[in-house]
């Protein structure tokens, strides 16, 4: 069966082990005027100044997954909730942009692969790889990032070497669970997470 091609970034699906799944997020700041957009489902990194931005492939300071933001819109002059940060926003009155992030290091996410994972399933379990960042949807604010499962594309094929995400399983969605075809959905955990290491940012 051909998998549905519908990349949507990282979607929270549970917690590893027997940890309680509460669906909670933590509030972070986005620097006013930050040029790069951040979409719902994007992997984000924590900067040395305590703010966040979209995480590129290879970044090791990941703090979680973006789930929207709140700010005083400089055009409408009204408090605004948005599924994504469009970039270049400087809130009215010079305030910060409040972002909401799934930052639990034990949280599991579902994400579409960007091709056919050669190792297949279950051989892929326990392997690491990076995110492939793609511009999201400016209509609904959803990310279009995918999991890198292809040779020579960013971090290369999933392997034992360190990378941002670790594959822990395959989606049980019948429309996206065929490991022999492209666009399989995988269950992953953030392993290069700032809250699961000794060193800070």
- Torsion angle in degrees (nearest 10) through CA of 83, 88, 92, 97: 50
Q: Count of H helices and E strands in the chain?
A: 0, 13
DSSP 103: -
The model's pTM: 0.92
Instruction: Tell me which residue has tokens 């395959």.
Output: 170
User: Residue 151: what pLDDT?
Assistant: 59
Residues 6+ away with beta carbon under 8 Å from 158: 117, 119, 124, 127, 128, 129, 148, 149, 167
Longest dimension (CA), the chain: 54
User: Residue 81: what pLDDT?
Assistant: 95
Angle, vertex CA 171, rays to CA 134 and CA 196, nearest 5: 70
User: Residue 22: what pLDDT?
Assistant: 61
CB 164 within 8 Å of CB 132: no
Domain regions of the chain by residue span: 26-102
User: Residue 160: what pLDDT?
Assistant: 84
> What is the tens place of the pLDDT at every residue in 90-112?
998 878 899 999 999 999 999 99
Tokens of 103: 């930052």
Q: What is the mean pLDDT of residues 69-88?
A: 93
Angle, vertex CA 89, rays to CA 87 and CA 91, nearest 5: 155
Quote the CA–CA distance of 171 and 151 in Å, as a whole number: 22
142: left (phi over 0), alpha (psi -120 to 50) or beta: beta
Quote the CA–CA distance of 192 and 63 in Å, as a whole number: 8
User: Where does the pLDDT of residue 153 fall: very low under 50, low under 70, confident under 90, or very high at 90 and above?
Assistant: very low
Quote the CA–CA distance of 70 and 81 in Å, as a whole number: 5
> What is the tens place of the pLDDT at every residue in 162-175?
899 999 999 988 88
User: Residue 50: what pLDDT?
Assistant: 95
> What is the pLDDT of the chain when averaged over all its residues?
90
User: Residue 125: what pLDDT?
Assistant: 93
Check pLDDT > 60 for residue 152. no
């Amino acid at each position: 069966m051909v998998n549905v091609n519908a990349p949507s970034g990282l979607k929270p699906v549970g917690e590893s082990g027997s940890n309680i799944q509460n669906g909670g997020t933590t509030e972070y700041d986005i620097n006013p005027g930050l040029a790069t957009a951040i979409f719902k489902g994007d992997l984000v990194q924590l900067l040395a100044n305590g703010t966040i931005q979209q995480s590129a492939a290879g970044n090791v300071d990941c703090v979680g997954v973006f789930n929207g933001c709140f700010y005083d819109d400089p055009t409408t002059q009204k408090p605004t909730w948005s599924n994504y940060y469009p970039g270049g926003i400087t809130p009215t009155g010079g305030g910060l942009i409040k972002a909401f992030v799934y930052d639990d290091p034990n949280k599991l996410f579902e994400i579409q692969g960007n091709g056919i994972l050669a190792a297949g399933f279950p051989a892929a379990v326990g392997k690491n790889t990076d995110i492939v960042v793609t511009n999201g949807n400016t209509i609904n604010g959803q990310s279009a990032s995918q999991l890198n499962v292809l040779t020579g594309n960013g971090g290369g094929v999933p392997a034992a070497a360190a990378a941002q995400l670790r594959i822990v399983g395959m989606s049980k969605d019948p429309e996206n669970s065929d490991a022999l075809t492209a666009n399989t959905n995988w269950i992953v955990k953030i392993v290069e997470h700032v809250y699961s290491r000794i060193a800070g940012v």
